[in-house]
Structure 1
Amino acid sequence: IMVLSGVVISSLFAAFSSLLKFLADSENKLPEITFWLMGSLARTGGYQNVLYMLGVTALCLVPLFLLRFRLNILAFGEEEAKAMGVNVKFYSLIIICASTLLTASSVAFCGIIGWVGLIVPHIARSIVGANFNVLLPASMLVGALFLLVVDTIARCAMASEIPLGIITSLIGAPVFIYLLYQSKKGWL
């Protein structure tokens, strides 16, 4: 049900994106929308937007860092966390709100840069383990390094900058398939 719900919601928002592109001014706005949908760090808008992102990041990372121990408990599952006295709904709401605000603000400035949120935590987990006390900062560092490498490739590979979403998809899909293969192999 979760996968099918994701497919339906993705299709619905793809229709909204297509409608926006159809209604947009083809001379000015349509290229901006198209490049935003492909993702780039080149058009983030200067120091004022960087300061805004730092504020949002600090606001969201404080509760996430304070709840790292609770994240470890929540990783055991809802029933086990409740048995340990954790208010699952309350902490899940805080974690989801902070994560959503971080993601939404990043996407608003940089556009859609896919696969980073799917593969980076898995890579970080394979390096440092599943303890969120270490995994959360490691995921931030690996994600930043990943985007730095991808952005460097995007700026140097051709005469014009390649949108980051294209490169992250070309890297992310095979890595994710490999991770799925490894997890299935571990189940056998």
Structure 2
Amino acid sequence: MLGRALDAMSMGDDEAHTLGVPVALIRYAVIAVATMVSAISVSMVGIIGWIGLIIPHIARLMIGSMNMRLIPASALLGASFLVGADILARSLSGIEIPIGIVTEILGIPIFVLVLSRVRRGWT
């Protein structure tokens, strides 16, 4: 829905405004929707913050920075990661390990990789 506007805004506010994007409106709308979705998700399933931090960066490495493809890919990759982590948590031992622990153990090396790439400039 907002992929083209977000792509235009990634070039800068002036360029996006020149292309006819209502920058302030889109920015506030995206922040409001992201805040509501995050609040609802955390209130329903608990804190699994690594997925929201790591998966969009992995999707960007795989797909590129075009938001029309990146946002759905992040959602699908995040859902797949969470299902895989849940299967792993349920099958590791005789007891059920909390999924937050599994996502943190899997997420720490990936997060370090993402941080190292940010310092190098994603090249």
Question: TM-score normalised to the size of structure 1?
Answer: 0.60
1:99 and 1:184 mapped to 2: Cα distance? Answer: 26
What residue in structure 1 maps to residue 27 of structure 2?
Answer: 92
Q: How does 1:30-109 map to 2 (within 5 A)?
A: 66-109=1-44
The two structures, once aligned, show a CA RMSD in angstroms of 1.8
Distance 2:9 2:94 in 1: 47
Aligned AA (1:132): N
User: Number of aligned pairs?
Assistant: 123
Amino acid at match of 1:169: E
Determine which structure has greater relative contact order: mean sequence separation of CA pairs < 8 Å that are 6+ residues apart, divided by chain length: 1
Aligned residue among 96, 119, 125 for 2:54:
119
**C-alpha distance in structure 2 between counterparts of 1:157 and 1:114, whole Å:** 22
Q: Following TM superposition, where does structure 1 have runs of at least 4 consecutive aligned residues deviating by more than 4 angstroms?
A: none
Question: 1:187 & 1:169 partners in 2: Cα distance?
Answer: 23
2:63 is equivalent to residue 128 of structure 1: yes
Aligned to 2:90: 155
- Matched letter for residue 143 of structure 1: G
Shift of 1:67: 0.9
Distance of 1:183 and 1:81 partners within structure 2: 24
Q: Give the AA of the match of 2:95.
A: S
Deviations along 1:16-70, one digit per CA (max 9) or x if unpaired, are xxxxxxxxxxxxxxxxxxxxxxxxxxxxxxxxxxxxxxxxxxxxxxxxxx11111
Distance 1:83 1:183, change over 3 A: same
SS of the residue corresponding to residue 153 of structure 1 reads: helix
Q: Distance in 1 between matches of 2:24 and 2:107?
A: 31
Q: Of the candidates 98, 102, 107, which is equivalent to residue 167 of structure 1? A: 102
**CA gap 1:145/1:162 in 2 versus in 1, 3 angstroms:** same
Distance, in Å, in 1 between the alignment partners of 2:118 and 2:107 is 16
Whole-angstrom CA distance in 1 between matches of 2:64 and 2:51: 18
- Partner SS, residue 79 of structure 1: helix
Q: For structure 2, which runs of at least 5 residues remain unmatched after alignment?
A: none
- Counterparts of 1:143 and 1:156 in 2: how far apart (Å)? 20
- Report the equivalent of 1:142: 77
Residues 187, 98 of structure 1: CA spacing in aligned structure 2 closer, same or farther, 3 A cutoff? Answer: closer
TM-score with structure 2 setting the length: 0.89
Match of 1:184 in 2: 119
In structure 1, list runs of 5 or more residues that go unmatched.
Answer: 1-65
